[in-house]
């Protein structure tokens, strides 16, 4: 509702300015620093002052006098050097919240593709992968809440070097047949993804000690690509088993996907060939005849050095203004090889083909088979080379694509985008969003706690990068288990009477809440220096703090029921006058406002491309409620009218906070 009024004011003011001053300015809406200043603040007169060459305060006064009446708005006031502050009609506002009036959306709904997780299927997921999945899944939930159709893709690189290295280790180091590897997968006493974690680290050490072993890698990669022999079969077994483990880990966090596009199908269905024809036709890639890249098809550096941006809004330029191109050295050093001199395509080439498919820009499509069904009924599909299910939904063809990939891949993402651009797909290039984020690193203290040996050099650093090759990192499932164990201790001490299964369910919700909130509270550009104690905390700015506020509010309603009282019929007992009277009390009004700002917060967070803002909003709302809860004892309220109103407030708060938590993928437990 807050968003509805904000948009209404914005549009009315913009129209007024256009008509009265014959000029076009973007009307920025803010929340005033001080609540006493009202509900919205418009600094628009400051920018207007420049074009009109008049004092901002004078313009503000003139505008306040001339602005037409707006439904739901009680007053415009001039403040400071030329702010226009806006006050809502409190009675009407409360009434509309009760009646659950219109849901607003600032942008028109569209089909959006979000790609996230994308873990190499060769070992267990670690905390860095958790950041990706939580960020991606929260983005998906935010987009869906504002009415968009979102398709979630988790790209599986089942033919790459990382899988190959584990296959190499199984085949050449451990001398295991595919059947023996399959037996490991089936062994219930062994965690296959953990086994691979160690094996992969061992293999990396082996390569370092005996570089000649890299020939095994080449042989294995070739076998996997050709899909022939024992090496290929072991590859399929490893990748499929590890993918299933990853899906299980992510489901613990309530992260689901719609589609697993697999690299093996991109290869076998020759997506690249279609893209290659296009790229050659439009001159986006050319055959190099001289220099160090002789014999390669390259993308000339100038294509991504001069992106030729036009007609983009400044906001989009800023948000994705990460064009990182080397400018030093020889000109050909900056060209990007797309097809090697031996005729094989590089990773970026495949990525360009995949990105084109996401927008529906190449003729090719996958076949699709159901991969698994989630407990909530959602079906996860996987790509297939042939014999697809006719009942499969239409995948791909999005109008906007978010790739949730860490910031280290910025350069490659720029090349992919440049590919689209040089093919003439300007709009799609702009709507390809690299939703980048910084890495999760480990603090030296955390390494010490986990018994990880560090070099002298690393110990002096403020953080150490997680490395799969070194086997250095915190496994996602281990962290989740630790969180659940800790939460379970707390739940047991508070609710000894509760059955074990219920205790465990609550502890799990708290653990996941803590984890997801932890991964969301940092902005995308912040390196998370992972600290076990901080991550395990359930106090202060944490997920459990927010969950607890919801539980407290719900306890009020439950206790009312336990006392044999019934919830009043709010629709009959609360009208505009009642709201007007109760909301005259400032702290009631402020809490209600905050609780009604959910969509506004999501709208702004999406505009800023920063999910951390949702975490922050949820925390602030919880904080506001906790203060309110402490000051007003609802069930003992002697004034019947006031009590009715406060009960409604509690109910409204529960509903809104639950929705925000859901947007972050966090459950509101029954008790805590």
Q: How far is the CB of 60 from RNA (least distance, A)?
A: 10
Q: How far is the CB of 343 from RNA (least distance, A)?
A: 9
Nearest to 87 by CA among 46, 43, 36: 36
**Selected binder of RNA within 230, 465, 505, 580 (CB under 7 A):** 465
Residue 658 binds RNA, judged by CB under 7 A: no
φ/ψ (deg, to 5) at 131? -60, -45
**Selected binder of RNA within 453, 500, 539, 569 (CB under 7 A):** 539
Residues 557-616 interacting with RNA (rule: CB under 7 A): 559, 604, 607-610, 612-613, 616
Residues 489-528 interacting with RNA (rule: CB under 7 A): 490-491, 494-495, 506, 510, 521-523, 525-528
**CB nearer RNA, residue 53 or residue 572:** 53
Residue window 400-419: x/- pattern of binding to RNA, with contact defined by CB under 7 A: -------xxxxxx-------
Residues 420-449 interacting with RNA (rule: CB under 7 A): 438-439
Q: How far is the CB of 179 from RNA (least distance, A)?
A: 27
Strand partners, 78: 84
Residue 71 binds RNA, judged by CB under 7 A: no
3-state secondary structure 5-72: HHHHHHHHHHHHHHHHHCCCCCCCCECCCCHHHCCEEECHHHHHHHHHCCCHHHHHHHHHHHCCCCCC
**CB nearer RNA, residue 53 or residue 175:** 53
Whole-angstrom distance, CA of residue 330 vs CA of residue 86:
59
Residues 262-281 interacting with RNA (rule: CB under 7 A): 263
Q: How far is the CB of 566 from RNA (least distance, A)?
A: 15
Residues 177-236 interacting with RNA (rule: CB under 7 A): none
Residues 127-146 interacting with RNA (rule: CB under 7 A): none
Nearest to 58 by CA among 38, 42, 81: 81
Q: Report residue 223 as tokens.
A: 């076998």
Which residue in the block uniquely carries the two structure tokens 């965690």? 191
Residue 21 binds RNA, judged by CB under 7 A: no
Residue 632 binds RNA, judged by CB under 7 A: yes
Residue 90 binds RNA, judged by CB under 7 A: no
Q: How far is the CB of 578 from RNA (least distance, A)?
A: 20
Residue 117 binds RNA, judged by CB under 7 A: no
Give the 3-state secondary structure of residue 185: helix
**Cβ(336)–Cβ(304) below 8 Å:** yes
**Cβ(263)–Cβ(235) below 8 Å:** no
Q: Considering only the stretches 30-38, 94-102, 276-284, 392-400, report the one whose residues sit in contact with RNA under the rule CB under 7 A.
A: 30-38
First to last CA, the chain: 30
Whole-angstrom distance, CA of residue 103 vs CA of residue 58:
36
Which residue in the block uniquely carries the two structure tokens 């256009």? 18
Distance, C-alpha 253 to centroid of its chain:
13
Whole-angstrom distance, CA of residue 142 vs CA of residue 291:
49
**Cβ(120)–Cβ(71) below 8 Å:** no
Q: How far is the CB of 580 from RNA (least distance, A)?
A: 23
Residues 275-314 interacting with RNA (rule: CB under 7 A): 292-296
Q: How far is the CB of 158 from RNA (least distance, A)?
A: 10
Query: What secondary structure letter does DSSP report for 300?
Result: -
Q: Report residue 389 as tokens.
A: 């299910």
**CB nearer RNA, residue 135 or residue 529:** 529
């Amino acid at each position: 509702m807050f968003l509805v009024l904000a948009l209404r004011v914005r549009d009315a003011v913009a129209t007024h300015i256009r008509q009265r001053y014959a000029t076009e300015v973007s009307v920025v809406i803010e929340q005033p620093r001080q609540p006493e200043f009202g509900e919205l603040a418009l600094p628009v007169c400051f920018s207007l002052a420049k074009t009109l060459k008049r004092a901002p305060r004078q313009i503000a006064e003139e505008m306040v006098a001339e602005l037409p009446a707006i439904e739901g708005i009680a007053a415009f006031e001039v403040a400071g050097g030329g702010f226009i502050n806006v006050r809502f009609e409190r009675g009407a506002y409360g009434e509309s919240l009760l009646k659950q009036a219109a849901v607003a959306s600032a942008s028109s709904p569209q089909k959006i593709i979000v790609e996230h997780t994308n873990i190499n299927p060769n070992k267990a997921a670690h905390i860095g992968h958790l950041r990706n999945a939580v960020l991606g899944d929260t983005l998906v939930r935010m987009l869906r809440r504002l009415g968009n159709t979102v398709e979630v893709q988790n790209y599986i690189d089942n033919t790459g070097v990382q899988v190959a290295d584990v296959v190499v280790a199984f085949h050449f180091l451990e001398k295991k047949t595919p059947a023996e590897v399959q037996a490991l997968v089936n062994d219930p006493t062994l965690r296959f993804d953990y086994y691979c974690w160690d094996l992969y680290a061992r293999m990396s050490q082996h390569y370092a000690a005996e570089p000649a072993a890299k020939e095994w890698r080449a042989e294995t990669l070739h076998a996997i690509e050709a899909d022939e022999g024992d090496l290929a079969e072991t590859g399929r077994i490893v990748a499929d088993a590890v993918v299933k483990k990853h899906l299980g880990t992510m489901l613990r966090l309530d992260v689901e996907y719609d589609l697993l596009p697999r690299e093996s199908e991109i290869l076998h269905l020759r997506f690249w060939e279609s893209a290659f024809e296009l790229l050659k036709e439009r001159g986006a890639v050319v055959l190099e005849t001289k220099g160090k890249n002789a014999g390669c098809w390259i993308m000339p550096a100038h294509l991504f050095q001069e992106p030729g941006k036009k007609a983009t809004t400044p906001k989009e330029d800023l948000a994705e203004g990460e064009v990182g191109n080397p400018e030093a050295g020889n000109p050909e050093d900056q060209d990007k090889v797309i097809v090697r001199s031996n005729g094989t395509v590089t990773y970026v080439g495949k990525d360009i083909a995949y990105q084109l498919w996401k927008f529906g820009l190449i003729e090719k499509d996958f076949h699709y088979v159901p991969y698994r069904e989630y407990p909530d009924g959602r079906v996860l599909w996987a790509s297939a080379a042939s014999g697809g299910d006719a009942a499969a939904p239409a995948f791909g063809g999005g109008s906007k694509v978010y790739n949730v990939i860490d910031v280290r891949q910025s350069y490659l993402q720029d090349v992919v985008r440049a590919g689209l651009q040089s093919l003439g797909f300007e709009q799609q290039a702009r709507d390809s969003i690299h939703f980048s984020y910084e890495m999760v690193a480990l603090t030296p203290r955390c390494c010490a706690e986990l018994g990880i040996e560090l070099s002298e050099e690393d110990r002096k650093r403020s953080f150490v990068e997680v490395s799969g090759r070194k086997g250095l990192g915190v496994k996602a499932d281990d962290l989740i288990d630790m969180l659940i164990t800790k939460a379970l201790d707390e739940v047991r001490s508070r609710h000894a009477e509760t059955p074990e299964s219920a205790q465990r369910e609550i502890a799990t919700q708290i653990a996941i809440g803590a984890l997801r909130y932890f991964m969301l509270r940092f902005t995308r550009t912040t390196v998370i220096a992972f600290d076990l104690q901080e991550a395990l905390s359930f106090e202060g700015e944490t997920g459990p703090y927010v969950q607890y506020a919801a539980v407290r509010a719900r306890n009020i309603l439950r206790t009312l029921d336990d006392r044999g009282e019934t919830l009043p019929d709010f629709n009959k007992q609360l009208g505009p006058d009642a709201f007007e009277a109760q909301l005259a009390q400032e702290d009631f009004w402020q809490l209600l406002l905050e609780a009604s700002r959910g969509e506004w917060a999501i709208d702004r967070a999406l505009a800023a491309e920063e999910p951390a803002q949702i975490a922050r909003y949820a925390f602030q709302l919880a904080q506001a409620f906790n203060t309110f809860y402490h000051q007003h004892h609802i069930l003992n309220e002697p004034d019947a009218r006031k009590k009715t109103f406060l009960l409604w407030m509690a109910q409204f708060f529960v509903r809104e906070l639950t929705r925000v938590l859901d947007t972050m993928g966090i459950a509101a437990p029954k008790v805590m």
